[in-house]
């Protein structure tokens, strides 16, 4: 490996180390505790080194938000591809969304502003649009009794999202019902909304 490649790899490793350290701090102490100084302490560099990679804390949050959307998109696509029936695909996708929210709760909180200010820039991220588009496409496959339109797809998507995000938020902020009851509520809600798609 040449010196250019070695330097590039070291830069990539340092950048990844900064992001990993930020996530480590958040998992231990929460989003409010994250600071450039704490990140520097974890990676054992001085704070100015971090500024060579990210302009500020918001830059780190933006990159973590982007990574969260990439991971969520992969999980939702994988869930869709695991089924062939369109209704089962849509249900599986929302269940994967739910599972991601709890398996990767720090990412989810950042991505959707649950007890933390989310990055407003996420709206411009193609990674954020990707997952939404997966859901829109799955909903549109089920729209057989009415013309497919952006308005109808949007209404159905936000009906799903508001209910599921609401349940997730309740459980992240304050422990809601037990897991079994949550699963029953979630599955019943998904099936009920699917039934309304062509009403």
Please report where in the chains the tokens 């902020």 appear, as a residue: 173
- What is the model's pLDDT at position 18? 95
**Considering the chain, what percentage of its residues have pLDDT values greater than 70?**
90
- pLDDT of 17-45, one tens digit each? 999 999 999 999 988 899 999 999 999 98
Number of domains in the chain: 2
What's the CA gap between 191 and 184, in Å, rounded? 11
How far apart CA 22 and CA 108 sit, in angstroms, is 15
**In this structure, what token pair is assigned to residue 157?**
């998507």
Is the pLDDT at 174 greater than 80? The verdict is no
| One domain, residues 111 and 13 | no
Q: Say if residue 49 is in the same domain as residue 78.
A: no
Beta carbons of 182 and 171 less than 8 angstroms apart: yes
Residue at which a domain ends, from 54, 71, 93:
54
Question: Which CATH number covers residue 144?
Answer: 1.10.357.10
Structure tokens at 101: 């929210």
Looking at the structure, do residues 50 and 66 belong to the same domain, yes or no?
A: no
Amino acid 63: pLDDT: 93
One domain for residues 86 and 176: yes
Rounded-to-integer distance, Cα 28 and Cα 33, Å = 9
**What is the extent of the structural domain holding 107?**
62-196
Say if residue 134 is in the same domain as residue 71: yes
CA distance 97 to 91: 10
Please report the pLDDT score of residue 161 as a whole number: 94
pLDDT > 60? residue 134? yes
Question: What CATH number is attached to the domain comprising 50?
Answer: 1.10.10.60
């Amino acid at each position: 490996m040449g010196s250019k490649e070695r330097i590039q790899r070291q830069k990539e490793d340092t950048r990844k180390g900064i992001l990993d350290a930020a996530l480590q701090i958040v998992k231990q102490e929460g989003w409010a505790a994250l600071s450039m100084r704490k990140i520097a302490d974890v990676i054992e560099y001085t704070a100015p080194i971090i500024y060579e990679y990210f302009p500020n804390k918001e830059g780190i949050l933006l990159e973590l938000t982007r990574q969260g959307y990439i991971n969520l998109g992969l999980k939702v696509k994988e869930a869709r591809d695991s089924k062939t029936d369109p209704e089962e695909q849509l249900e599986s996708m929302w269940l994967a969304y739910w599972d991601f929210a709890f398996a990767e709760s720090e990412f989810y909180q950042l991505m959707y502003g649950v007890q933390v200010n989310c990055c407003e820039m996420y709206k411009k991220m193609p990674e954020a649009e990707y997952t939404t588009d997966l859901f829109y496409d799955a909903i549109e496959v089920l729209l057989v009794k009415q013309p497919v339109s952006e308005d109808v797809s949007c209404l159905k998507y936000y009906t799903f999202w508001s209910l599921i995000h609401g349940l997730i938020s309740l459980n992240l902020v304050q422990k809601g019902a037990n897991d079994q009851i949550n699963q029953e509520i979630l599955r019943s809600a998904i099936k009920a909304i699917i039934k309304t798609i062509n009403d």
